[in-house]
Structure 1
């Protein structure tokens, strides 16, 4: 799979060299960064040195939670080293996102390995009218996040096939599918494993200020639904008005089209509709159980927002995926015995093994950060600065968005970036009356927008490989020049939606006010 930075004769000679030079700098800087696992241990070392300096100078703040003085503690002291050693296992075992992501991924694995998710994506984009194929592929991209990283492997090649099937450029199909997944990664109308990870990290950050704080995996669900529709529309408009007018959309002459990738057998189609029917019945049953005010799944006083159901949403999502996978697998023959189910669930755990390894380092860093109380100091001092300077909250939002968008070009792991940023941003903004769920929603935009243009993402190179199936000479600059207009317009429109949502005071999700 070549990654040569080829510039075709049809590319703009004035613009692309600058793009390629900028991308080359990004690639060099990003390649110089250590693996996120080691990055968090390096950050832990830096944290230790900073805590020693601040502790020796007696730095402290008054906690707004209980009006008590909070003093910075030295991580490099005897007590700090003892705490780090004694709590290493507990830090990992009690790390909020870990149990959640394992449970969700066990269910997702069954749905993925049996072919349910692949069939769902195929039926979403196959057979649609020619005029709707761009929107169909783009919207399928936002829904595909339920399959996590597998979305790239499944949908990007399907996008090329779908466009080719209706007489459009397969190159454009690959670009639309890839960008809708990458730059819309945190917008999904269906709860995803990422929602569980982000909610866990946000909860731990919010508990720096409010020990009882809890952020649900569906805390951004309402705005996610609106975002996915908006981004699909933006992709459609920009593709038709900008990308479709490029003169370099024809594939290589020797490219052979094989439409079998979009074809579903009668058995698969029957299995899919049976599964969707079972899921619909499951939804009706859930509503029926939740409907009575005395339902055990409701909270105190019949509350829906503070209820066992919402707090157990991650497990419910995992069960839904598992149910879908079992029904589909049984109907299409992918599951022939009950013993197949736990085997598929184990595959899901194998898939996230690299994430669990990263979680060990993240959990230690966050535990050290909390113990030193540096987060309290930074949050309180930042909040005081915002109050005294009178900087409008929208301006703060824009600054945070710009900062995180730049960081995302180099640190493409959303969980890694949010683990670094959340302990500072969430408490600081909570102290100026910005809910943790709102800060998380803002982060989603930054974590997604620039993902499709950075060669630091392994999925950028994967998408380039699919693109090279239609044009062998395509390189990093080729793909970036296609994705850049989409990524910029998606980020801008998503930002406008966020500010409109915040201005109107619409809840971000169940029990999650935006202000």
Structure 2
């Protein structure tokens, strides 16, 4: 029996176990309600818990100001009055709300004009064969600026890029999907998710520190390094493990797309050059405005870290995306008149409608959590437990990471999971001197790592559809068996990077110390 035969048998024996495990995960996840209803269920549980704790006169001393904070009963008259009278204000004041809307309007222009799709195509088509894995992997981590469109655009392009250099298109689909899914929160370019997470983290931090603020670029430096490290890890695992699998050839009768679709037309290339020039001019102009110490975009004492520029970074990002989108679309013809620009923004906001509906439920839950002071009690008690346990903070990080990774398999919505976890984890770790930005960076790893292996993600099913173009009998277990080695290795490498970052004390982003 040859080594190849042995590999085939081993893969066949592993596959049923993977299929069974994925089936268990899928059934458990399907038993959960929609995230919108999940937050109302959590609100009901919170209401009952607050009534019990208030009846027991549970309270803690706030380490922020030394005052005694007692649990308030959400089912009392005051609680019902609060819930009724503040519902609209809770939604309107939800930190990510305005930020995400502004960012999406700019990103929508860049996406709907065709600029982001062209950028992804050119990023994977002009590389030597030896660099194609890294190029697709890095493009995957950087593609999140296009949100869900990243999956639709880059996953099939990954298959085309690999086939264009004589490699398996199956491997290309797997690499593209896993780099997007398990590297979702590692984008070197600020994304809409950064704004959402920063808003939720800010709200959670204010439970114990009323003046806390976490900016959308608070993890930017860490994200840049993460995207490079993950792309390297994907390249190594693909080269030394996945590429040695014996089942990488597409079906003989598979319908193969035209490789020429990777190439840009002359007009698209011209539009890309013009858009790049416009972006360069905009960045230079912005830099010239910020450079003088007396610049109105700087803060007190000429500070850039605490300045109007960083306070309005979401608007700046939206403006830059809008500029490149308008220039590109005007040259290619996707934008023919000024009225097309707001129309593209509207199209982008339509995609955000499900998120905005979810935000309404999240905003109410977080407001109730804050009003009842259950979060204060949990955070202070958990922090005291951590201090008395004597556990090294690194061990605490690993325990938090393991817990969130398991939860992410079932609750694949990052904003939903962070909205549940942040009100406890952020204050708890703040009380043991771990900055909110650091807890958010830890969450990014858990929110991404296991995404590529869970069938609860709608994009897992989408990727399976792309895989089935090349292998018709591919199933959930097939895709999971490809993505599992990548996802596990990426999570481990990303965790090691975080721990190294923490040990060296490198800032996570502008004005965001790691400890």
Interval containing the TM-score (normalised by the shorter chain): over 0.9
1:207 equivalent in structure 2: 206
CA distance in 1: counterparts of 2:19 and 2:359, whole angstroms: 34
The alignment partner of 2:13 has SS state of: coil
1:366 equivalent in structure 2: 366
Q: CA deviation at 1:389?
A: 1.5
Q: CA deviation at 1:260?
A: 3.0
The alignment partner of 1:13 has SS state of: helix
CA contact (8 A) 2:111 2:117 kept: yes
1:5 equivalent in structure 2: none
The alignment partner of 2:368 has SS state of: helix
CA contact (8 A) 2:109 2:344 kept: yes
CA contact (8 A) 1:10 1:248 kept: no
The alignment partner of 1:70 has SS state of: strand
Task: Please tell me whether residue 272 in structure 1 is matched to residue 305 in structure 2.
Answer: no
CA contact (8 A) 2:112 2:344 kept: yes
1:45 equivalent in structure 2: 44
CA distance in 2: counterparts of 1:127 and 1:10, whole angstroms: 38
1:173 equivalent in structure 2: 172
CA distance in 1: counterparts of 2:350 and 2:10, whole angstroms: 43
Tell me the TM-score normalised to structure 2 length: 0.98
2:396 equivalent in structure 1: 396
CA contact (8 A) 1:103 1:314 kept: yes
The alignment partner of 2:60 has SS state of: strand
CA distance in 1: counterparts of 2:337 and 2:22, whole angstroms: 50
5+ residue gaps, structure 2, are 1-6
1:317 equivalent in structure 2: 317
CA distance in 2: counterparts of 1:326 and 1:224, whole angstroms: 27
CA contact (8 A) 2:29 2:410 kept: yes
**CA distances 1:365-394 after superposition (whole Å, capped 9, x unpaired):** 000000000000011111111111111100
Q: CA deviation at 1:13?
A: 3.1
2:429 equivalent in structure 1: 429
Q: CA deviation at 1:19?
A: 1.1
Q: CA deviation at 1:154?
A: 0.4
CA distance in 2: counterparts of 1:255 and 1:242, whole angstroms: 25
CA contact (8 A) 2:8 2:246 kept: no
Q: CA deviation at 1:11?
A: 6.3
CA distance in 2: counterparts of 1:224 and 1:425, whole angstroms: 21
1:290 equivalent in structure 2: 290
CA distance in 2: counterparts of 1:10 and 1:167, whole angstroms: 26
CA distance in 2: counterparts of 1:437 and 1:351, whole angstroms: 28
1:193 equivalent in structure 2: 192
Q: Within 5 Å, which residues of 2 pair with 1:90-489? A: 90-257=89-256, 258-489=258-489
5+ residue gaps, structure 1, are 1-7
Q: Within 5 Å, which residues of 2 pair with 1:73-84? A: 73-84=72-83
The alignment partner of 2:11 has SS state of: coil
CA distance in 1: counterparts of 2:213 and 2:301, whole angstroms: 19
**CA distances 1:437-457 after superposition (whole Å, capped 9, x unpaired):** 000000000000000000000
**CA distances 1:203-227 after superposition (whole Å, capped 9, x unpaired):** 0001111111100000000010000
The alignment partner of 1:61 has SS state of: strand
Give the total of aligned pairs.
Answer: 508
Q: CA deviation at 1:14?
A: 2.5
CA distance in 1: counterparts of 2:159 and 2:79, whole angstroms: 55
**CA distances 1:397-448 after superposition (whole Å, capped 9, x unpaired):** 0000000000000000000000000000000000000000000000000000
CA distance in 2: counterparts of 1:11 and 1:193, whole angstroms: 42
CA distance in 1: counterparts of 2:202 and 2:336, whole angstroms: 40
Tell me the TM-score normalised to structure 1 length: 0.98
Q: CA deviation at 1:127?
A: 2.2
CA distance in 1: counterparts of 2:507 and 2:210, whole angstroms: 23
Q: CA deviation at 1:94?
A: 0.5
CA distance in 1: counterparts of 2:265 and 2:88, whole angstroms: 49
1:4 equivalent in structure 2: none
Q: CA deviation at 1:255?
A: 2.1
CA contact (8 A) 2:105 2:348 kept: yes
Q: CA deviation at 1:280?
A: 1.2
CA distance in 2: counterparts of 1:248 and 1:149, whole angstroms: 29
CA distance in 1: counterparts of 2:35 and 2:397, whole angstroms: 26
